[in-house]
Amino acid sequence: MVSYKRLNPENVHFSGALLSEDRFSFFFFFKVPQPDNTSLLPRRLSCSITKAVLILGSLLLLLFGGWLLHTIYWLRSTSGPAHRPPPPVPGQAPGSVLQADINNTVTNARTKACSVIPEAWRFDCYPERGVVVNRELCEARNCCFIPASTFARRKSRKNGIPWCFYPPDFPSYSVVSVNDTSMGLKGTLVKDVKTYYPGDILTLEMEIRHETDTRLRVRITDPSSSRFEVPISVPTAVKKAENPQYVVELSKQPFGLIVKRRSTGTVLLNTTVAPLLYADQFLQFSTALPTQFIYGLGEHRSTFLHSVQWNTLTMWARDVPPMEQTNLYGVHPFYLDMESGGDAHGFFLLNSNAMDVVLQPGPAITWRTIGGILDFYVFLGPDPSSVIEQYVDVVGHPAMPIYWALGYHLCRWGYDSSNATWEVVKNMRNYGIPQDVQWNDIDYMDQAKDFTYNPTSFNTLPDLVRDLHAHNQTYVMILDPAISSSQPEGSYWPFDEGLKRGVFIKDAEGKTLIGKVWPGPTAFPDFSDEVTHEWWYENLQRFHQKVPFNGLWIDMNEPSNFMDGSTESCPSNSLENPPYTPGVLGGLLRSKTICASAQQKLSTHYNLHSLYGLMEAKATSSALKRILAKRPFVISRSTFPSQGLYSGHWLGDNRSQWKDLYTSIAGMLTFNLLGIPLVGADICGFSEETQEELCVRWTQLGAFYPFARNHNSLDLEPQDPTAFSPLARTAMKQALLLRYSFFPFLYTLFHHAHLKGHTVARPLMFEFPKDIKTYSIDRQFLWGRSLLVTPVLDPGVDYVNGYFPEGLWYDYYTGDSVSSKGEELHLSAPLDKINLHLRQGSVIPTQEPNLTLWVSSGQPLHLVSALSDDGSASGDLFWDDGETLDTYETDRYTYVVFNVSQNVMTSNVLHSDVEGSYITIDSASFYGVKEKPSKVLVNSQEVQFVYRDNQVLSAANLGLSLIQNFTISWS
């Protein structure tokens, strides 16, 4: 007996087996005979002696040749979610020894056929949680039942190997017709017997679209009935790819899809390893993976490299502090897989329904969702950066952030008043610590109501915001989507007007659904309705006239609810209690959110739940553009693919623990893969009391989050930099000034993210895909291709070990060089230092830092070149006014490329505008100049220079215009 509670997300473990590229190594499905009728029981054999002897002879012959290739089982359809073991076969004579022998032979052959399937390739036939699965229950589904081996159980305290799994002959679909189309092909899939979930769809339509040379799209739909499809905009290809990098093969009986990389033959997708299931509320397919190196699949707290040891990742937006092995705030059904040899590919399932994604050590992956259609993409790369570019080409490129978004943000839940908030801002100024943005949590609201501020404790809030603006700083406030519904009629415009316009989500009976959040009873805006977007804009506009905020923090938008469902409970139906419920925290779709059966403009909440944060972000971004006429700044907790178009993300309500410091790197890298580069964790931790050493180290790491915000919780000691000892405060100040000095480099990285879909914070494997040692590194990361960040992530140490891929690396601070063969190095890391190294061949622009980016961004540039062995390097700079919408699209920008070769640096101004004319290049440093030069020339004019023993050449007081080509040479 085994309880499938073992398969809960909190009970998964890790492994690393690799897959042979032979797609038939372990599974080969055989044609299922067509029955006269459908039955869950094996068909009863005839009592004829002659027939029995013939059957027995045939079975013995097959057993003698190896193992039984085919067993005769008939299935019957089920009409409900209950699964009962089959009853005894009627009519069997008690003394029929021959009949018993035949049945035993069939059973033994069946057992042998099941037993040859390796444990790593057993696909779960009974994934329901909270069910004790025995042999009778398993075989009622016509599946194999074999308890995991004793050895496997000993390997892991909580083993996830399924005891009930699909046999090779489990009924699946067959391809009955295939027709070429202008984009690829269409086919009809038919299944003649039903499986064990209700609403089995027996005829499907498959469309394979060769959209680009590196992008393949597959859609499997129900031709007889319209089903929910995710309402995000994706590109519509109109011409079939001419030279695709993929080869598509079809297994017709049973149906299976095999996708190979044309150049290497590597099998990227192979769905023949398990049957396709397609029922009304249960869609499932599995595919082999070429290796176990799989990334993405957000949002989950884990290592950057996912485990494939029976690791179930549940996706359904949920308000819960980040913890391992549970569904969190966002849903991103996309993965990147590294192949042997350094190639990479990606896979994206465009589906928003609750789902489980199961990784197993074959390696293989199973997608199990409870609605919508199967609509997926395969991206061919071939390098990992190209995979992400191809993915964001589908879901949308991230927006270019407003310049101050890249500064230091300060917030807490627990500023008692606007004056208390103001005091923190003044202290930061007095200590000369950079700060661009001050935030407020829900403290500022009047009785926690949106679009209000407390007239007593926050009466000076408008004055605070005006003061921030006078000091070139900005203000961001929190907004929760839930709107108070219990105020006296006529006293709270947001609810009264929303009720009048019908903007709130309705329950199954058509009444406004009421839940409970911070202000008490609340209604939830339906952001799938454009009417709601207009109402949301008007609320923001009215409040902006009172408090001129600059950006918005949208929280609690999973949506979060302090009760399950609503104040009126939820109906008992298949939406609330589907035949299969993925492993969501709480066990119910409505756990700490609204009813799955709730009605929205586009569909039921059952389909739209995980899109709620995306739709709110879209409405908020649009409203800010209209109000401010600048690039909108929005940070959202809940996210979905294409979110980067509208907002950034913070990693949620973390804890002030060293482990959370470490896991924030994996979260940051994962969201850069997902097309949301503006991401970071709460610096110093949100909940629990932080420690001074932890906060220093976290500020150093946080200085290299793309989005850097310090935020802590109610009733905790302050943790802004001014709250600590002089030594700690100085170390934090240095880290933040360092961030501000890198602003031109960081801003340029975001330009490339916006334009090309590049990552900003980047895993080492992206730049070194042939170095397998980089595949699991998540204690270090890169900014772009050039800057290696090696933070301290452990207490009580003054050193850190970091891996340096093969090549030359330069200490950013000193220019000292390190030549690595691909090895781990021991680095000094006193409390006031974070280790930074420049990669050979890089040119990065920096600036003199100041207290705000408005001031810093006007300072002259300093160019730092890290030369390769042959003396070459390159880099670039994108520059505009930092806030105007669509500057690249409307040609209001400057773009300059820098190159170093044979002792000469050149700049090439590819585009310029007036903003670039305000910037000068005042100095330059060259790391790795092997011999001291006799002279340095700038535009053929000799200038003074400094050359140090560590082969660093520097020149200052250059006075070069950014928008005019120049040369710097030495000899």
Active-site residues: which are they? 555, 558
Q: 93: which strand partners?
A: none
> If we measure between CA atoms, which residue out of 699, 761, 705 comes closest to residue 736?
699
**Torsion angle defined by CA atoms of residues 857, 862, 866 and 870, in that order, rounded to the nearest 10 degrees:** 130
Q: If you search the block for the tokens 């913070």, which residue do you land on?
A: 650
**Which run of H or of E encompasses 553?**
strand 551-554
Phi, psi (rounded to 5 degrees) for 571: -65, 160
Using alpha carbons, list the distances in angstroms from residue 422 to 547, 718, 906. 15, 14, 47
Is 289 exposed, middle or buried (CB count within 10 Å of its CB: 0-12, 13-18, 19+)?
A: buried
> If we measure between CA atoms, which residue out of 888, 368, 688 comes closest to residue 698?
688
> If we measure between CA atoms, which residue out of 227, 225, 206, 226 comes closest to residue 217?
206
State the DSSP string of 495-535: HHHHHHHT-BPB-TTSSBPEEEETTEEEE-B-TTSHHHHHH
Encoded tokens for 953? 């050449």
Phi, psi (rounded to 5 degrees) for 493: -55, -45
- Return the ∠ at Cα 260 (arms to 257 and 264), rounded to 5°: 165
From the centroid of its chain, how far is CA 227? Answer: 25
Beta carbons within 8 Å of 554's beta carbon, 6+ residues apart: 478, 479, 480, 481, 613, 616, 617, 620, 634, 635, 636, 637, 647
> If we measure between CA atoms, which residue out of 650, 734, 660, 665 comes closest to residue 694?
660
> If we measure between CA atoms, which residue out of 153, 66, 55 comes closest to residue 106?
55
Q: Each residue of 491-518: b (16+ CB within 10 Å) or e?
A: ebebbeebeeeebbbbbbeeebbbbbbb
Write down the H helix ranges in 375-460: 384-395, 418-430
Amino acid identity of 806?
E
